Structure 1
Amino acid sequence: MTTRSKRKDEHVKLALAQHEKNNDFDLMRFYHHSFPEINYRDIDLSTHYLGQTFNYPFYINAMTGGSEKTKELNRKFALIAKRYGLMMVLGSQHAALDDKTLEESYRVVRDVNPEGFILGNINPNASVTEAKRAVEMIHANALSIHINPAQELTMDEGDRDFSHWLHRIESINKELDVPVIVKEVGFGMSRYTINQLQKIGIKHIDVSGKGGTNFVTIENTRSEGKRFSYLENWGLSTVESLIEAKPFMNKVEIMASGGIRNPLDVIKALALGAQAVGLSSVFLKMVHDKKEEEMYAEVDQFIDELKRIMLLLGKTNPRELTDTDIIWEGRLKER
């Protein structure tokens, strides 16, 4: 097993070991209406983003690939994406860019779901040539570029030079024929970061805030030194990031992920202006050691619960959700 493959398997194992915890979505409640005046059967969860219409306002977010174990996980994710018409984002493809023998752990997604809307995934160290290879590898419909300085700096083998990242992202965005999404990996985005991306022409952003899988904790556990526990609360939450993103929502398509634990969190993120919501750990738990019928039953239940919450809110479509439906607790507010 290569060093990258070993790391991929460690990331999955440690992500599964992390326990669900409270986060800033718990500071939000919705007004209750005793007369919703709509019928469950009239609820339509379809939404539009990346120039496509999807059946549901959530998608399978970047997780894995690069080893035999993660190949099987990707196969299961692809089965769900195909059955429900969900967008799927692959995990980082750099393992396969460095070692062609690992390409099948990513290509399996396209083999299972040949007509699906699938995103490739690279980091901003990639050249334009590598970005094109990542797209070609899986015939990607779009490309995600993940930015993760907090993870890199706490990873023993991580990057230490980020001076070229914005320039690389700008070049890739200009040269590719598919849409480019820039996403964090659980540390959120400030208004300043979103403005930087908007200025270089990025039209699609996943703010991916803290509150869910914590990669500082993961890298700290992997490290022999285990010295960065004091950074485990680093970053902005997904709720804070969506508030920061609000001034840009008429210029940039904003997606949300990070700390999405259940259908109610999905609805809350949509009410804060997200066009769509990415789920990682939720899907990881749905497929890990599960048979296909068990996976599908859990997705069916997730969708049913989304519709029930929409019914409680008296809304027939996610586009009708706004922040005027929210009651705030605590001190979260716009700057």
Structure 2
Amino acid sequence: MNIDSNRKDEHVDLAERQYQAASQSDFQKVRFVHHSLPQIKTADISLASNLLGYPMELPFYINGMTGGSEKTKTINANLAEVAKATGLIMASGSVSAAIKHPELADTFKVIRQVNPNGIVLANLGAHHTLENAKRAVHILEANGLQIHINAPQELVMPEGDRDFSMWLKQIERIVAKVGVPVMVKEVGFGMSRETMEQLISVGVQWIDVSGRGGTNFAAIENARRTTFSYDDLENWGQSTVLSLLEGEELNDRVHLLASGGVKSPYDIVKALALGAEAVGLSGQFLHMVLEEGPEKTIETIASWKEKMTSIMTLLGKKSVAELKQTDVIFQRDIIDWCEMRGIDYRRFGIRSSEY
């Protein structure tokens, strides 16, 4: 097994251990105001949304996770089976391993082989060239591309990148010329509005804020180190909730997506209410396919659809777009962040009165 395959397997094992030990995320610090007369029928609810211009029956997708080893090939095949049965859009893990080692390409190609007619996204880091981005799309016969930005992970990773000076320029070139829709995503460290403004300035139209609360890649890479540790960086970044609040005023200029710490239908609805158009899940799906297998995961997704419909009925909202009119209350530490960052958090508590 080469070093890249071994690293991919280590990532999966450490991510699953993190899932088992996960604590409270900021989604538990967000509450909806209950209004007792929804004045709506469950049959009126639509969960439809879109991602990169592709229609979605459900407003969540299987986010980029893995690939690059025989073990992760099996995981990708199982995830692709789930995507095929449910109609969910699926992103691969970083295809860089297959670009560096062509013999590993089949660990990613299996996604398209299992789900030939599904919407599949390739994934690649921001340091890659336009030519590599096109290769990643070709390997997966992908309908779109995720570009991940992960400076904290790279710095903690012993073999990681140390030069980030060209990332924004590379993103600009890829967005303009790769030939498929592109989203840019963090990997669990969240985004500031300044970062989003930079991405918008180079033509990015879809941003996954991917905040703290889910898989912690600083902790994963720290666990792999054999010399001094980077313990302090394991708490780096903003949560998904805070990142969505950072981007709230940019909603008319960019399509926001959310991932990081999303584990339940309730979390998904909260993320949508805070401005996301769709929600990505990685650690949760990884855990389900590892522990329960594809068939049980497919059943769970069906139950999520019913639960989300019930929650939206309680909120009196017929669509994903209408969720942005719900009244939302935050706990104190979220309010503190908003006050320091000049975010009008009070408006969220009385949004329904604006419509």
TM bin (shorter chain):
over 0.9
Q: CA deviation at 1:289?
A: 4.1
| Cα offset, 1:77, TM superposition | 0.9
One-letter code of the match for 1:180? V
1:328 to 319, 327, 330: 330
Residue aligning to 2:244: 242
| Aligned-residue CA RMSD (Å) | 1.3
Please tell me whether the aligned partners of residues 20 and 261 of structure 1 are also in contact (alpha carbons under 8 angstroms).
no
Report if aligned partners of 1:55, 1:84 keep a CA contact under 8 Å in 2.
no
Cα distance change of structure 1 residues 165 and 318 upon mapping to structure 2, 3 Å threshold: same
- C-alpha contact 2:79 2:294 (8 A) present in aligned 1: no
The question of whether the paired residues in 2 share the 8 Å contact of 1:82 and 1:113 is answered with yes
Which whole-Å deviations, capped at 9, do the CAs of 1:62-119 have from their partners, x for residues lacking one?
A: 1000111111111111111111111111100000001111111111111111111111
TM-score, scaled to structure 1? 0.97
Q: Which residue identity is paired with 2:189?
A: F
Specify the alignment match of 2:33 in structure 1: 31
Q: 1:243 to 1:305 in 2, by over 3 A?
A: same
Deviation at 1:247, TM superposition (A): 2.0
Residues in 2 aligned to 1:326 and 1:92: alpha-carbon distance in whole angstroms: 35
Aligned residue identity for 2:130: V
Q: For the residues of structure 2 that align with 1:265 and 1:296, how far apart are their CA atoms?
A: 19
Corresponding residue SS for 1:65: coil
The one-letter code of the counterpart of 1:25 is F
Distance in 2, matches of 1:300 and 1:226, equals 46
Deviates further, 225-234 or 108-117: 225-234
In 2, distance between residues paired with 1:284 and 1:21? 17
1:223 paired residue number: 225
Structure with the larger helix share: 2
d(CA) in 2 for partners of 1:328, 1:142: 35
Distance across 2 between alignment mates of 1:287 and 1:64? 13
SS at match of 1:309: helix
State the alpha-carbon separation in 1 of the partners of residues 22 and 319 from structure 2: 28
1:120 match: 122
State how 1:81-160 maps to structure 2 within 5 Å.
Answer: 81-160=83-162
Partners in 2 of 1:118 and 1:71 — Cα distance?
15
**SS in structure 1 at match of 2:334:** coil
Does 272-281 or 307-316 show the bigger shift?
307-316
Gaps spanning 5+ residues in structure 1: where?
Answer: none
State the 1:230 CA deviation: 1.5
CA distance 1:289–1:29, shift in 2 (3 Å): closer
- Indicate the percent of aligned positions where both proteins have the same amino acid: 49
* One-letter identity of the residue aligned with 1:326: V
Question: What letter matches 1:122 in structure 2?
Answer: L
Q: Describe how 1:186-225 pairs up with structure 2 within 5 A.
A: 186-225=188-227
Aligned to 2:11: 11
Q: Does the CA-based 8 Å contact 1:120-1:134 persist in structure 2?
A: yes
State whether residues 315 and 326 of structure 2, in contact with CA within 8 Å, keep that contact through their aligned partners in structure 1: no
Please point out which of 269, 274, 279 is paired with 1:272: 274
Large movers: runs of 4+ above 6 Å: none
Measure the CA separation in 1 of the matches of 2:228 and 2:115: 40
Match of 1:158, SS state, is: coil
Secondary structure of the residue that 1:211 maps to in structure 2?
coil
Displacement of 1:312 = 1.8
Q: Distance in 2 between matches of 1:209 and 1:295?
A: 24
The TM-score, its normalising length taken from structure 2, stands at 0.91
**1:90 partner SS:** strand
Which structure 2 residue ranges, 5 or more long, are not aligned? Answer: 343-355
Assess if the C-alpha contact under 8 Å between 1:110 and 1:138 holds in 2. yes
- What is the CA–CA distance in structure 2 between the aligned matches of 1:294 and 1:51, rounded to whole Å? 29
